[in-house]
């Protein structure tokens, strides 16, 4: 079977039947296209362990964003896409090598990008002000910290948010719906922002414009730039992104006693393995318990 035809069918399958996000589909398309081009894959029968190994070697020698070579995690994304493609072919009874033959590179324990509670307070303070833009930025930061939303989920919110309730539903990755909870501080900030709005846009967060043209919904990139500017104003030298605030949300819960399964649900992780990056927080909590309660009868 022609590789390009099979790839198109695979991408349609993960979009329609598996409900994958548009960004995931775009990434899988990019990874497979690059493999096909580099290894001159014309037919699915051209896929072999040998050229996969050669492709992995080629990837490892590509320059990375901040290193001499591409990160192993990024290299694994290519292999995950290829493995999913091969599983699809097997499911359609199209002859190909076994997807189990592709092993992912072992990764060192992932380090989290975090900011301290003091830095979080400074970040929030840096956003405050009386102008509509300041009120909007405060609402964005408070809502991200309160809910742990992904930036794409935040951007998709509309003005019909019911602030009389302590929670609301959001549609996340894989079109899955989950409940997130909004703090009194976030409610107050969003309410103040809605009161300051003068436009009729249905989007919750929009760009502030002085022209007569209708404001447009903020994009993930716009939110990233807003948070970056607030971090600079707050004197924070670390890289602060919407995802860093999602990390802070999770670690705040865990360090205050929440169990990791609950945090998994609040973050909308499909697998507990994804949430395991926060295990060091619970490990620290267990160490404190051990020190407090263990061996007291021997002292």
Catalytic positions, written as ranges:
150, 173, 243, 246, 269, 278
d(CA 248, CA 145): 7
In three state form, how does the secondary structure of 269-289 look?
Answer: CCCHHHHHHHHHHHHHHHHHH
What phi, psi does 18 have (nearest 5°)?
Answer: -100, -15
Bridge pairing between strands 177-181 and 167-171: antiparallel
What phi, psi does 128 have (nearest 5°)?
Answer: -65, 150
Residue (of 68, 244, 271, 73) closest to 151 by Cα position:
244
d(CA 156, CA 180): 14
Q: Buried (b) or exposed (e) across 96-123, using 16+ Cβ within 10 A?
A: bbebeebeeeeeeeeeeebbeeebbebb
d(CA 215, CA 220): 16
d(CA 259, CA 251): 11
Residue (of 33, 39, 23, 16) closest to 78 by Cα position:
33
Q: In sequence order, what E strands does 49-136 have?
A: none
Cα distances (angstroms) measured from residue 217 to each of 164, 179, 220: 24, 23, 10
């Amino acid at each position: 079977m022609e590789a390009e035809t099979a790839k198109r069918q695979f991408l349609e399958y993960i979009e329609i039947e598996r409900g994958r996000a548009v960004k995931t589909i775009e990434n899988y398309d990019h990874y497979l296209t690059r493999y096909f081009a580099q290894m001159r894959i014309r037919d699915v029968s051209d896929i072999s362990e040998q050229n996969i190994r050669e492709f992995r070697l080629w990837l490892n020698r590509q320059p990375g964003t901040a290193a001499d070579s591409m990160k192993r995690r990024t290299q694994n994304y290519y292999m995950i896409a290829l493995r999913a493609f091969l599983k699809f072919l097997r499911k359609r009874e199209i002859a190909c090598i076994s997807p189990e033959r592709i092993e992912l590179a072992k990764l060192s324990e992932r380090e989290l990008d975090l900011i301290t509670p003091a830095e979080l307070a400074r970040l929030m303070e840096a956003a405050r002000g009386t102008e509509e833009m300041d009120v909007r930025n405060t609402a964005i930061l408070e809502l991200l910290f309160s809910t742990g939303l992904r930036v794409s989920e935040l951007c998709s919110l509309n003005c019909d948010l019911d602030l009389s309730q302590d929670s609301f539903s959001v549609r996340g990755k894989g079109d899955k719906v989950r409940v997130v909870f909004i703090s009194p501080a976030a409610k107050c900030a969003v309410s103040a922002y809605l009161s300051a709005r003068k436009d009729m846009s249905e989007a919750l967060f929009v760009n502030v414009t002085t022209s007569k043209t209708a404001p447009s919904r903020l994009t993930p990139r716009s939110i990233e730039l807003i948070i970056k500017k607030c971090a600079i104003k707050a004197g924070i030298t670390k890289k602060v992104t919407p995802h860093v605030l999602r990390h802070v949300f999770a670690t705040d819960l865990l360090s205050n006693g929440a169990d990791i399964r609950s945090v998994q649900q609040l973050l909308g992780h499909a697998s507990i393995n994804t949430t395991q990056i926060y295990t060091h927080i619970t490990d620290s909590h267990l160490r404190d318990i051990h020190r407090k309660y263990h061996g007291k009868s021997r002292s």
